[in-house]
Structure 1
Amino acid sequence: MPNPRVKLLPFADISNYVEGFDIVSTQWGGDGLVYVLLMNQIPERKRGMFVQSKMKQSYTYKVLIVTDQTIEEVVIWGQTFNYHYVQPLHDHLLLVGARCANYGNEQYDLNAKVCDLEGNTIREFLLGDGIQSAQVTEKGTIWTSYFDEGVFGNCGWSDPIGSSGLLAWDEHGNKLYENREADIADCYALNVVNEKQVWFYFYTDFELGCISGGTSEPNVTLMNPNISGSSGFSTDGYHFLFDAGYGKHGTFILKKMEKPGRLSKGQKIDFLNKDGQPFKQARQDFRQHRLLLSEGNLLYRVTMEEITSASGLD
């Protein structure tokens, strides 16, 4: 039996906004809108490998806030820090850089910047080095997950902030939650559904975790999804759509919760672009029950309900 094929049509074309800019990231906000971070030139890596944090020259960022009918543009001029993620934070924007250095003597980079919609800086604070993902709830709780260098330390961090692999912060950068239950060496994927439900998937055991009850009374459960190296997943709480993992990135597997703590073997799902072709090197972002795919300057989205009905796998 062939894999179910789901053809998607783009809901937005950002071509008119990208001239002179490069796409850094495309992300869902907790509000269900899409946030695109652009930069007038992506800095070269140090020695071809290492992502810079502070930069010697200034750059211009642009954030696109994309709805079905509109694209709002926020330009942020004269920046010398390398940001990788953007999220809505109440009526402002939060920019987060994946890397930040500790120079010793209480001197370190501040890798989170809150801006207003005119591009003016409101405040800056520290979220730690080695950030794999940054997602903000509608109430303003900032969740950050960390890859291995953020967990074990680099860039001058002998006692790394991200050593637990997963943290939550308030809108001013005060810590609200730190993972104590899961042994995270590298948090591969994060899905902040809402204030009371946060999912994460991590190495080395490739377990899937769920934090319920919020940051004040967190209850953490873990299960084995039987998938290795997935870079992201979306869920409605019953269905789980995973990136297929090592050697299969950009292909997808749909699983169901057969009983609490156990997922089904799963079914491969093929997504096709507007030309009826498989997506090639599309950026992908998973949040709540949605998947965002961006190929070139076209943005595509699909919900779990649309996937299950189109594939007959309810």
Structure 2
Amino acid sequence: MSNPKIKLLPFAEISAHLEGFDVVSTQWGGDGRVYVLLINQIPERKQGMFVQTKLNQTYTYKVLIVTEQSIEEVVIWGQTFNYHYVQPLHGHLLLVGARCTYYGNDKYDLNAKVCDREGNTIREFLLGDGIQSVQVTENGTIWTSYFDEGVFGNNGWNNPIGSQGLLAWDMHGNKLYEDHTADIADCYALNVVNEQQVWFYYYTDFMLGCVSGGTQQPKVTLVDPNLSGSSGFCTDGYHFLFDAGYGKHGTFVLKKMEKPGTLTKGQKIEFVNEQNNPFKQARQDFRQNRLLLSEGNLLYQVTVEELASGLV
């Protein structure tokens, strides 16, 4: 069977908000809206390689809150930290930098900032270095996953915050949970469905994990998806749409959990845009049962149910 090519049509166009700004990231919020983080100039990397934490000049960030009907804009002026992610947090916005430095003597960067919708800072706290992904529940639980440098330590962190690979925090940055079931060297993918269901996928075992029961009584189960190097996935609990993995990024595999703990081999899928062209450098974000693709000024979405039923 040939791989089906599924045409996606854009649901939002953001070019009117991009003048003078570059896109940093596009993410789903737990509320079903899309949150686009923009900056007026992408900071240069140190020695052309390393991501800066504190910045040597002030930058302006802008957050777009996007639905199919509207785009809200929040401007955050005069910032001197390098932020990469944005999520809604109880009516406010949470900005998080992937990297932060430990300077010794309990001095370190605070890489999480909570702002109001006028761009004013409410509080700042530490979420650790080497953050791969940040997703916040509608109740305000912050989940963070970490790549290898955040697990094993860098930027001065001999005892890294993210050493377990997957953590949860309350809205003030107090730790609620860290994983001790999976042996995570690099958490490649995270999908926070709700307060009671959090999925993750990790290296080196390439296993799919699920934290159920919330942070108070967590139960972790592991499933082998038979995929190596997937960068993300979405699920309705039965269907699982994965990035296809090493050497195949940009193509996808739709699997089913027909038996508890076992996924099918799956159907490979390719997406094309409204002009029937493959997505070449689209940003991807997976949350709950939805995939978000953003390319240029356009945003696209699809659910696993739409794919499974052939309605796209």
**C-alpha distance in structure 1 between counterparts of 2:185 and 2:124, whole Å:** 27
How far did residue 252 of structure 1 move?
0.4
Equivalent in the alignment of 1:303: 303
How far did residue 48 of structure 1 move?
1.4
Equivalent in the alignment of 1:98: 98
- Percent identity of paired positions between Structure 1 and Structure 2: 80
1:115 partner letter: C
Indicate the SS of the match to 1:55.
strand
Equivalent in the alignment of 2:243: 243
**C-alpha distance in structure 2 between counterparts of 1:236 and 1:109, whole Å:** 37
**C-alpha distance in structure 1 between counterparts of 2:235 and 2:132, whole Å:** 19
Indicate the SS of the match to 2:307.
helix
**C-alpha distance in structure 2 between counterparts of 1:311 and 1:34, whole Å:** 22
Equivalent in the alignment of 1:277: 277
**C-alpha distance in structure 2 between counterparts of 1:311 and 1:278, whole Å:** 19
**C-alpha distance in structure 2 between counterparts of 1:77 and 1:164, whole Å:** 34
Equivalent in the alignment of 2:161: 161
Pair 1:60 & 2:60 matched = yes
The answer to whether the Cα contact below 8 Å between 1:4 and 1:311 also exists between their aligned partners in 2 is no
How far did residue 277 of structure 1 move?
1.2
Could you give the per-residue CA deviations for residues 197-246 of structure 1, whole angstroms, max 9, x where no partner exists?
Answer: 00000000100000000000000000110000000000000010000111
**C-alpha distance in structure 2 between counterparts of 1:101 and 1:310, whole Å:** 48
Q: Which runs of 4+ in 1 moved over 3 A?
A: none
Indicate the SS of the match to 1:150.
helix
How does 1:187-266 map onto structure 2 within 5 Å? Answer: 187-266=187-266
How far did residue 258 of structure 1 move?
2.3
1:42 partner letter: I
Tell me, which stretches of 5 or more residues in structure 2 are unaligned?
none
Equivalent in the alignment of 2:119: 119
Could you give the per-residue CA deviations for residues 131-178 of structure 1, whole angstroms, max 9, x where no partner exists?
Answer: 000000000000000000000000000000000000000000000001
**C-alpha distance in structure 1 between counterparts of 2:207 and 2:304, whole Å:** 21
**C-alpha distance in structure 2 between counterparts of 1:311 and 1:129, whole Å:** 42
1:208 partner letter: L
Count of residues in Structure 1 that have an aligned counterpart in Structure 2:
312
1:126 partner letter: L
1:18 partner letter: L
Equivalent in the alignment of 1:26: 26
**C-alpha distance in structure 1 between counterparts of 2:30 and 2:211, whole Å:** 17
2:274 partner letter: K
The answer to whether the Cα contact below 8 Å between 1:243 and 1:253 also exists between their aligned partners in 2 is yes
The answer to whether the Cα contact below 8 Å between 2:239 and 2:255 also exists between their aligned partners in 1 is yes
**C-alpha distance in structure 1 between counterparts of 2:258 and 2:29, whole Å:** 29
Equivalent in the alignment of 1:267: 267
**C-alpha distance in structure 1 between counterparts of 2:89 and 2:37, whole Å:** 15
**C-alpha distance in structure 1 between counterparts of 2:45 and 2:241, whole Å:** 32
**C-alpha distance in structure 2 between counterparts of 1:135 and 1:275, whole Å:** 32
**C-alpha distance in structure 2 between counterparts of 1:248 and 1:122, whole Å:** 42
The answer to whether the Cα contact below 8 Å between 1:6 and 1:311 also exists between their aligned partners in 2 is no
**C-alpha distance in structure 2 between counterparts of 1:57 and 1:159, whole Å:** 30
Indicate the SS of the match to 1:211.
strand
**C-alpha distance in structure 2 between counterparts of 1:205 and 1:176, whole Å:** 25
How does 1:140-179 map onto structure 2 within 5 Å? Answer: 140-179=140-179
1:37 partner letter: L
What TM-score, normalized by structure 1, do the two folds share? 0.98
**C-alpha distance in structure 2 between counterparts of 1:225 and 1:65, whole Å:** 33
Pair 1:6 & 2:18 matched = no
Indicate the SS of the match to 2:257.
strand
**C-alpha distance in structure 1 between counterparts of 2:247 and 2:307, whole Å:** 23
The answer to whether the Cα contact below 8 Å between 2:14 and 2:298 also exists between their aligned partners in 1 is yes
How does 1:59-98 map onto structure 2 within 5 Å? Answer: 59-98=59-98
How far did residue 276 of structure 1 move?
1.1
Tell me, which stretches of 5 or more residues in structure 1 are unaligned?
none
The answer to whether the Cα contact below 8 Å between 1:6 and 1:310 also exists between their aligned partners in 2 is no
**C-alpha distance in structure 2 between counterparts of 1:61 and 1:290, whole Å:** 26
How far did residue 311 of structure 1 move?
7.3
